[in-house]
Amino acid sequence: MKVRVLGCSGAIAKDCRTTSFLIGDSILLDAGTGVGDLTLEEMGKIDHVLLTHSHLDHIAALPLMLDSVSSLRTGPVQVHALAATIGALQAHVFNNVIWPDFSAIPSTAFPFLQYRAFASGDLLSIAGVQIEVLPAHHTVPAVGFAVRGDTGWWVFSGDTERNPSFWNRINTLAVACLVIETAFSNRERDLARRSLHLSPEALAQELEHIPVADRYPIYITHTKPSETSLIMDEIKRLDCTGNTPYRPRDIRWLSAGQTMDV
């Protein structure tokens, strides 16, 4: 299974695109600004979009992508999300004020968009791929995802702060790779906690949940562009001497354009 990193930044700037991952050709996890790097043909192949939550950096490209490909498709794009996220899209995006309601055009019988609600803990089978919905702890209802590949599970934390339930679940999986957010530096630790994101010192505490016997690649995502260098420097200086099997040199920064084989 190939995972293409379209965007993994916490905000926009030159060469910084917000969160979006392409699984194979037809499944999109989040729809941040990284979607804009796809060709029209590539966008047209996307049949399923799974959203972690309703914040703009994770949904910004969804309305524009649907507009781009709607005339090229023979069936609706399926948008899978929490009921609360679907409600936010209906109320604040596809509301015929910010953007047309693509779930009702060209008709309710044959729309460009269909919603599919899931709940945390659900195991989905989408386009032949198993995807588990994982718990996240954020300022709005949110989730992460685990995607089953040939070598194990590709795990994405989504936007989250400290989250014991997340670790309780993934520690039962054969994890091949973990993509975890660290949005703010330690100097912004108070802002990170208030906005329910991780800082490097909180990341170190979270990694202690991983059993000592386990070891898999860890990639950092969702860094703020103005703080990326500082965040990664602080991660390199982490004192990971507790129960975690990891050392700072084992933790890498995720970059847009990267392809991950699982």
Amino acid sitting at position 132: E
pTM, to two decimals: 0.95
pLDDT, residue 245, reads 65
Whole-Å CA distances, 154 to 63, 76, 110, 148:
27, 27, 34, 6
- What six digits make up the tokens of 189? 């630790």
Chain Cα centroid distance, residue 147: 11
Res. 243: pLDDT tops 70: no
Whole-Å CA distances, 136 to 2, 75, 112, 144, 164:
24, 31, 29, 6, 9
The more confident residue out of 175 and 71 is: 175
| Per-residue model confidence as pLDDT tens digits over 193-229 | 999 999 999 999 999 899 877 889 999 999 999 999 9
Domain spans of the chain, in order of start: 2-256
| Per-residue model confidence as pLDDT tens digits over 141-195 | 999 999 999 999 999 999 999 999 999 999 999 999 999 999 999 999 999 999 9
Could you tell me what percent of the chain has a pLDDT over 70?
Answer: 96
* Cβ atoms < 10 Å from Cβ of 165: 14
Q: What is the strand order of the sheet 48-50 is part of? A: 113-118, 77-82, 48-50, 27-29, 20-23, 2-7, 259-261
CATH for 2-256 is 3.60.15.10
